[in-house]
Chains A and B, each alone.
Chain A
Amino acid sequence: MAAPEAGGGRIERDRARFSAIVRGHIKHDLRRYVTGSELIGRKGRHLVSIPVPRIELPRFRFGRNGRGKGQGEGDRAGDDSQPGEGAAGGAAGSQPGQHLLEVELSLEEMAQILGEELELPNIQPRGRARLTSPARKFASLRRTGPRSLRHMRRTWREALRREITSGLFDPKDPRVVPVADDLRFRSWKDVARPDHAALILYMMDVSGSMGREQKEIVRLVSFWIDTWLRSQYQSLEMRYVVHDAVAKEVDQDTFYRLRESGGTKISSAYALAADLVEQQFPPSEWNVYLFHFSDGDNWSGRDTEKCMQILRDRLLPVANLFCYGQVKSAYGSGQFKKDVDQALGGDDRVLTAEILDRDGILPAIKSFLGQGL
């Protein structure tokens, strides 16, 4: 039981090292031998290209020097797969390369790359937010047990010790025969494995001033935040709140598609969020992440004051992190970020970022998640 796990760690280390070379983090001199080959898989009716990078160490091998010198065939396959017009000949039959989709990084891999690129720290869940689930770990030895759990090395060591102390051991004929007393068996104990759960609550302003591009930016930011947090927590709960002058909870699909119009009362969203957390996500069991995106316009200064009050009294005491992302729009004044910074700038759980356009997405994610809170 223990053996394959140790082995698995070994191959995972080799694999991690390989990935690091391919991504250019270490051993730059090997990077020039990286070739991009692929596997062709099938997903429903579509064919998908699964990139399988390889590092080919140079060798004395037979080759074709005249044609395509220095260019691997794998590189060319990528170009051919695009359904160019020039290739519209008779050969319709054999090549099913029409709908080749370029995928497939698993989300885990993407999260890892994101983490590496932005140098995101791993999240340390707060002490109070700790659930435990029982798990078994083979960590000790005992004198009885089933044969399948025999610990050979310890058994032989016991036998050797016994033979040496009793003077039976002969270095010229180093045979060691275990007897029943020498047998040692692996044994487990129950350990409590910490299990962390997290709530991500997205709030978005959908008033008339938030256009399609602003929503797209919010979508991208939330997607990457999701991906990263998913890689850090075993169970993740997502809730979505939209607001104009009133707030309501919606499902994910609606969150990204909805286009309302009307005024903006940010406090409505914060009040709803506070209710939600208080009723359904007790902070003793949940790490709570709050994200709010808007274009920075609020109805009135009085409502903004109300916002700060809710944040200070009801949300921040239960939250790991409150992030405010201000997406620039043609109509927004951008006042709200200044207000938040002024009122709560000293609290390291409060982070704000201004996202001017798509190029601002990565810096925003880095500033939100860069502290590992």
Chain B
Amino acid sequence: MTRPGGELLALQREVETRARDAGLQVPEVVYEVVDHRELNEIAAYGGFPVRYPHWRFGMEYDRLVKGHDWGLQRIYELVINTRPVVAYLLRHNAPVEQKLVMAHVCGHADFFRANAWFAHTDLNMLDVMASHGARVRALGGQVGQEAMETFIDRVLSIDNLVDAGALRRARGRPGNAPPLDGPLAPGDILGFLLLRAPLAAWQQEVLALLRDEACYFLPQMLTKVMNEGWASFWHSRLMTGSLLRDAEVVDYACQHSGAMGGDDGPMNPYKLGLELFRHLHDLAGGDRGGGLAAVLEARAVHNDLTFFDACANTEFCRTHGLGTNDEEIAAARESTLASLTNGGQPVLRRLPGEGPDLELEHVWSGAELQLDQAEETLRNLQGLWQGTVRLHTRLEGRALLLTCGSSGVTREYGDLLEKPELGA
């Protein structure tokens, strides 16, 4: 891992100057030049060079290495939301590729600083992750690697049980997670476990730091489409606007279409986000009208769900193959919105009550939980709570109550509900 030399620094200066002139708030960005092996490793750790030890990172690494060795995948860019923003450049990329990556990174860096959902983020995360790693290692040395890993596995199984709406309460405080001294959001089940579950001191500590990491990554899940779309919108604008030399056009076009293409259809997040921003830009009158102001405002206030809802009108859906008539378009919009809600994760919240049991409700949005997985997950939750856990959900048009005690999960079906689910 090395810092960029003179040529790359000159490129960086050029790209960032253009980006700032165009209206982006580009904070300080530090590039690290790495080879593909290092990049695969850092990517496996979610962008951070040092994390706690866990097989899941090894699994990710395994996949990345195999994909790379067979020439199937490559990582275009890797950038993390810290102060300064850290981004990685592949050592052997051609200058035009480095330029493209830098222009793309400018978009991400601006988004991290400007978007409301990132306002609470602890920007010292590079150090925080490393110290989490050191703590887990040290505690693991005391309680044993097996016990530590088993506990982490359990927590990871439920680490989506945080409340996106409560994130802003972490603003202006160290850490990414909402503080535990105020009223607790109903979706913050990890927070509730921290306060009330009978955990050993080391378990408390590990749970707290995993909750913090989950809250750090959550905004990125909620804004994946926008974040990638915004970065692509800007690399495309900056490159074709001023940065490209004549000889680089074909290479750039190749790179760009490589990132935008793929079999994922309209849900390739790069592509969908890019087209939404372009659509909004045109709607608001393009560069001569209020196009730029409109996209700058949108990137500051929206998340994926509200952004798609606000921008994907009938015309957009028709142009991009999301349906041909009103009915199809309405259905496509509905299903896309559902997939963007809460980052595509079901919303669970705790029902009020002071009893010894943990009572949860799956907030119905029209889609069922995967039942076998839900039961396994309940067991993990029960293991942490060390008491009975109940979950109210729906299955095949009936209310379903899953109860997990120390002996396993039981199912109780209610009557057929009058209103069947929305998206059959």
Contacts and interface: CB of A to CB of B under 8 A. Distances in A.
Given A11-B45, A11-B61, A39-B72, A61 B53 contact: no
Contact of A50 (B61, B70, B376): B70
Contact of A62 (B34, B73, B346): B346
B156 interface: yes
A41 B71 CA distance: 8
Given A16-B58, A21-B55, A11 B70 contact: no
Contacts of B372: 58, 69-70
A18 B55 contact: yes
Interface residues of A, number: 41
Contact of B370 (A14, A42, A65): A65
A346 to B, nearest CB: 45
B370 to A, nearest CB: 2
Interface string A37-58: 0011110000010101111011
A4 B1 contact: yes
Interface string B367-378: 111111110110
B54 interface: yes
Contacts of B38: 4, 7-8
B49 interface: yes
B125 to A, nearest CB: 17
B424 to A, nearest CB: 11
Contacts of A8: 37-38, 41
B308 to A, nearest CB: 18
A17 interface: yes
B28 interface: no
B161 interface: yes
Given A14-B53, A65-B395, A55 B371 contact: no
Interface residues of B, number: 53
A54 B370 contact: no
Given A8-B37, A14-B61, A15-B61, A63 B50 contact: no
A7 B149 contact: no
A10 interface: yes
A66 B380 CA distance: 24
B213 interface: no
B324 interface: no
B240 interface: no
A39 B160 contact: no
B377 A58 contact: yes
B58 A11 contact: yes
B63 A52 contact: yes
Given A30-B153, A41-B71, A63 B369 contact: yes
A11 B38 CA distance: 10
Given A18-B62, A52-B66, A60-B160, A65 B348 contact: no
Which one of B37, B41, B146 has the greatest number of beta carbons of chain A within 10 Å? B41
B139 interface: no
Nearest to B35: A4
Interface string A13-41: 11111110100000100100000000111
A62 B338 CA distance: 11
A65 B371 contact: yes
Which one of A39, A55, A57, A63 has the greatest number of beta carbons of chain B within 10 Å? A57
B396 interface: yes
A48 B69 CA distance: 13
Nearest to A62: B367
A1 to B, nearest CB: 9
B57 interface: yes
B62 A7 contact: no
B76 to A, nearest CB: 18
A172 interface: no
Interface in B133-159: 146, 149-150, 153, 156-158
B371 A50 contact: no
A286 B355 CA distance: 74
B93 interface: no
A180 interface: no
Given A7-B50, A14-B55, A17-B58, A61 B67 contact: no
Contacts of B50: 7, 10
A139 interface: no
A14 B160 contact: no
B331 interface: no
A349 B149 CA distance: 43
B417 interface: no
A18 B44 CA distance: 13
Contacts of A128: none
A3 B55 CA distance: 21
Nearest to B380: A58
Contact of B368 (A19, A21, A42, A65): A65
29 contacts: A4-B38, A7-B38, A10-B50, A10-B53, A11-B44, A14-B61, A17-B53, A27-B149, A30-B153, A41-B70, A50-B66, A52-B63, A52-B66, A55-B55, A55-B59, A57-B56, A58-B157, A59-B158, A60-B348, A60-B362, A60-B369, A60-B373, A62-B367, A63-B370, A63-B373, A65-B371, A65-B395, A104-B70, A148-B2
Given A4-B34, A61-B370, 18 more contacts: A8-B38, A11-B61, A13-B58, A14-B58, A15-B58, A18-B55, A18-B62, A39-B70, A39-B72, A41-B71, A52-B66, A54-B63, A55-B55, A57-B156, A58-B373, A59-B158, A59-B377, A62-B369
